[in-house]
Amino acid sequence: METTLAMVKPDAVAAGHLGRILDRILKEGFRIAGVKMLRLSQGQAEGFYAVHRQRAFFADLTRFMTSGPVVAMILERPDAIATWRRVMGATDPAKAGDGTLRKEFGTNLERNATHGSDAPETAATEIAYLFNMLEIYSTD
């Protein structure tokens, strides 16, 4: 069993797509081990995306991620990271494949509806950043 962090971004929450995204998550065989809605502060968004601090898009990204609530989830299933990234599609919705969440719900490179961890180490870091142990349901 593998875990990953998934996030429904402010654009998709505001547009009312949360239910359809959750439905897709369940249809893809994920188990939700943790879920919460929160509004990131500027400092929290900067910490979460610290790996991108030196990139030109950092300020716009963190401003967008604090513009409204997000829904963060811990997803579990075999091969969770690769599966979630396939379900999300390419970062740029214009390049995302048909049937992917970003193709269906994203509008541009920044407002692309969802976030997902890209590696086991990233997933562990992102999950620990947004969830404490009391907020995670484990079947172990």
pLDDT category of residue 64 using cuts at 50, 70 and 90: very high
pLDDT category of residue 110 using cuts at 50, 70 and 90: confident
Query: How many Å apart are CA 22 and CA 24, to the nearest integer?
Result: 5
pTM: 0.91
In DSSP terms, which residues pair with 7 in a beta bridge?
72, 115
| Number of separate domains in the chain | 1
Concerning whether 115 is annotated as a catalytic residue, the answer is: yes
113: tokens are: 């509806």
Contacts of 59 (CB under 8 A, 6+ apart): none
Give 124-140 pLDDT, tens digit per residue: 999 999 997 767 777 65
Q: Is 45 contained in some domain?
A: no
118: tokens are: 């890209």
> Of the residues 115, 123, 127, 130, which is catalytic?
115
pLDDT of residue 104: 95
| Domain that includes residue 32, residue range | 2-39+69-135
Q: Kindly report the CA angle at 28 between 27 and 33, in degrees rounded to 5?
A: 95
Q: Is 57 contained in some domain?
A: no
Q: Is 106 contained in some domain?
A: yes
Q: Is 30 contained in some domain?
A: yes
Query: How many Å apart are CA 117 and CA 131, to the nearest integer?
Result: 14
